[in-house]
Every structure is written in structure tokens, then in C-alpha cells.
Amino acid sequence: MIWAVVPAAGSGRRFGGPIPKQYAQIGQQPLLHWTLSALAELGELAGLLVVIARDDPWWPGWGEIAGKPVLTAIGGAERCDSVMAGLKALPDSVGDQDFVLVHDAARPCVRANDIQRLIEQAALTDGGLLAAPVRDTLKRAGVDRAQPRIAGTQDRVGLWRAFTPQMFRRGPLLAALQASRARGEQPTDESAAIEASGLSPLLVEGAEDNLKVTTEYDLAIARLLLTARAPRAA
Ligand code: CTP
Ligand code: MG
């Protein structure tokens, strides 16, 4: 059995608007409920630890979803601070060497079968993450940001886009994040901190529709995907 830590304490600056994006309505439910339901579908899931902002007025107070317990913790200034708060707040039944899934609240379209493969494959190693190979041709821009011109073409062979969930052992992940923070870094995913601690996380290829809702456009795509999959909840 495995716990999920879901950072949901961001303010969604790039998204804008009066309501944080994790509470944007998709069909009958806030976006965050779709994310938690996708995780709760997993048979192996023991529970959900949702990290919310201090004084979050939108948190509906869910105590369980699909029969899985939902606990909360209060997040911090950066995503990595929120993840650390979540890792610390997990129940004592989660050991230091137990694997934990960390999944962005803002990724409601993740597929249960991809998470299943991540759990099976990454558990045989030090951990890993869902990701997809880069498919576009990549251009590097020159120094002029106002009128960007191409300074070169970047070889995309071997480049991947990192998604979540990311699965690592509770104790080593917390230690790696704390070490990154102590160096003044703000790792944008768990893997970056684990990499800095000397390990090589496993890349598990997942569906590319596991998008992170960052802008209104992403929300429109997420609505289309989720309502097509679950027409009744729409
Ligand atoms: N997050 C968090 N605590 C923070 C910052 C982010 O828990 N201090 C969460 C967000 O709620 C989101 C996930 O981390 O589910 C990924 O972050 P991102 O997509 O960057 O969300 P925001 O930080 O809210 O958006 P923005 O960067 O545009 O402000
Ligand atoms: Mg952010």
C-alpha cells in the first residue's frame, strides 16, 4: 500500500483569475477532485495527503474519496516546501523506506494504468517518474528576448518531459529536498532533488495527455479530455 502526497498550495499566478486553478470547475467537480479521484482509483493506494495553502477558503474538507482517507497539511512558499510539509505530515504507519507518490494537484488527466506501471517498474529501483520523450524540434533563442532569434537547434535525442506522479522513498526524498533547500535551490520536481543526491530515477513513459493545467487553454483541454472519458460526471 502506498500514500500519495498532492501539492495543492499554489496560487496559480500564470493562470490568473479570482479562484486558484486547482478549484476551477470541470463538469460537476472542482479540478482537484478529479485529480484525487484518479489517484484513489488505484487498488494499492492507502490514502491521500493533500497540501493546501494556509487559510485556503476553497478547500471543501473532504475526509475521504472513493473510500480512501484524505488528510491535509499546510504548504509553503515554493512547491518543494509544500511537498516537504506533506512528507512530514504522513501518518507514522508510512516508514522511512516506504515509497510515496507525489502528484501535482494541477494534473487531473493522469491515467490510472500509467500510475500502475510507474509503481511496478520504479519500485524495483530507487524510484522514478512518469515522463514522455520530447517530440518537437527544439530551438535555442539568442540573447535578444524582445525579438528572439534562433541561436541554434538543440538535439532532442535523449530529452524527456518530466510529469508526475514521481515515486520515491519517504525518508530519502525528504532528506534530498531539505539538502536542495539548504543549498538555496528550489527544485521544481522531486527527481531534481533525488538526482542531486546522486541517484538516477527511472523514466517511465506515460500518456502525453497528463498535462499540467497552467493556463486557461490547458483547462479547456483538460475539460475536453475528462468529460469525454466520464460523460456522466460532466
Ligand atoms: N504548489 C504547491 N505549493 C506551492 C506552489 C505550487 O503546493 N508553493 C502546487 C500547485 O498547487 C500545483 C503544483 O504544485 O498543483 C504544480 O505547481 P504549478 O503548476 O506551478 O502551480 P502554481 O504554483 O499554483 O502556478 P504558478 O506557478 O503559475 O503560480
Ligand atoms: Mg508554480
Looking at residue 230, its pLDDT comes to 78
Q: What is the pLDDT of residues 141-167, one digit of tens each?
A: 999 999 999 999 999 999 999 999 999
Alpha carbon of 9 to ligand 2 centroid (Å):
9
Please state, in angstroms and rounded to a whole number, the distance separating the CA atoms of residues 52 and 67. Answer: 21
Within a 13 Å sphere around the CA of 63, how many CA atoms are in the beta-carbon half? 0
Q: At what angle do helices 31-40 and 112-122 cross, to 10 degrees?
A: 50
- pLDDT score, position 228: 93
State which of 79, 181, 188 you would mutate to test the pocket of ligand 1, scoring each by most atoms of that ligand within 8 A of its C-beta: 79
Mean residue pLDDT across the chain: 97
Residue 15 Cα to ligand 2 middle (Å): 10
Handedness of CA 162, 115, 221, 49 (dihedral sign): negative
Q: Which residues of the chain have pLDDT under 70?
A: 231-234
32-51 pLDDT, tens digit each: 999 999 999 999 999 999 99
Which residues in the chain belong to E strands, given as ranges?
A: 2-8, 25-26, 29-30, 45-52, 64-65, 68-74, 99-102, 127-133, 138-141, 150-154, 160-169, 202-205
Nearest CA to ligand 1 atom 8: 78
